[in-house]
Structure 1
Amino acid sequence: MTLVIAAPVSGEIIPMRDVPDPVFSAMMVGPGAAIAPFPGGLTVVAPCAGTVRKVQAHGVLIDSGDGMGVLVHLGLDTCELDGEGFDVLVKDGQEVTQGQPLVLWNTSVATEEGYSLCSPIVVVGADKNAVSIVAEGPKVEAGKPFLHVEQ
């Protein structure tokens, strides 16, 4: 089974081990990589087609339909913002297509409050060695191939 995951935002690629959060860097949630997005008003797009399993302002989990989920976590500790700076465009149970807008994110709110914009993209349910970065970094554009899952 092969899954190509698109970048949900444009920015600089950060290997998961370098994410400044111990839960993500130790891959406790799952393997993947992160993107340090370019600041401003961002449209966060679906990294894959599937069903939205859980949406919160700072993160979206999409079930890709093959036993795996793709978590897009917007910034670190941004759950503390209680949704401020995020405009969610999808709801739980909604079917989405790859590249479909999920969230409008005004990153200045997080930046002004001192939160990191580093955004982990995690493949929940994948083996740690099954995920690789395919973007030809150091930067990636939203909607372009970012991660490859071979499981």
Structure 2
Amino acid sequence: MTGLVLVAPVSGDVVPMVNVPDPVFSAGLVGPGAAIEPFQGGLTVVAPCDGTIVKSKPHGIVIRTDAGVGVLVHLGIDTIRLDGAGFTTLVREGQYVTAGQPIVLWNTSVAVEAGYALCSPLIVMGVKPEAVSVIAQAPKVEGGKPFLSVATVDSSQEPALGGV
């Protein structure tokens, strides 16, 4: 498959992966992508692509596209420590979603009050870093609008879908 386009899961400022305030994400250890510094408040997080939910945690959702590519939407940094506070998950594992469909309601004030960064990576798993590029008109992106492009997708590579 070629030409996968991912829409922004939230509205906010575009953040290059190297500037994400987490060494695992910024080093590209989870995979290539980019992040969004979301506007604060109550956010509706949308699916970046069509596919099946393979992992659903309050702070992170992994979607497997029809081509077999894993896409991770990670909401905030260290927000796993909130034990779900501030998040309302709208999807379940095994559910099929379409790009732009609401998947999580996020009250960002809970993360801010706890001292956690809101920076939210969108990661493409199982592809080479050079295949992923930001197509949004930086420095801002609107939720549900084109954000990342994946130039080529090798569906013969099984993405690592753990670690959310």
Provide the TM-score with structure 1 as the length reference: 0.99
What letter is aligned with 1:69?
Answer: G
Equivalent in the alignment of 1:32:
33
Work out the CA distance in 2 between the residues paired with 1:95 and 1:136.
29
Write the deviation string for residues 13-49 of structure 1: whole angstroms up to 9, x where unpaired: 0000111111000100000000000000000000000
What letter is aligned with 1:15?
Answer: P
Equivalent in the alignment of 1:124:
125
Work out the CA distance in 1 between the residues paired with 2:83 and 2:94.
22
Gap runs ≥5 in structure 1: none
Alignment identity in percent? 64
What letter is aligned with 2:92?
Answer: K
RMSD, aligned α-carbons:
0.5
Gap runs ≥5 in structure 2: 153-164
SS at match of 1:116: coil
Deviation (angstroms), 1:126: 1.2
Aligned positions, number: 151
Equivalent in the alignment of 2:4:
3
Equivalent in the alignment of 1:111:
112
SS at match of 2:63: strand
SS at match of 1:13: strand
Q: Point out 4+ residue stretches in structure 1 off by more than 6 angstroms.
A: none
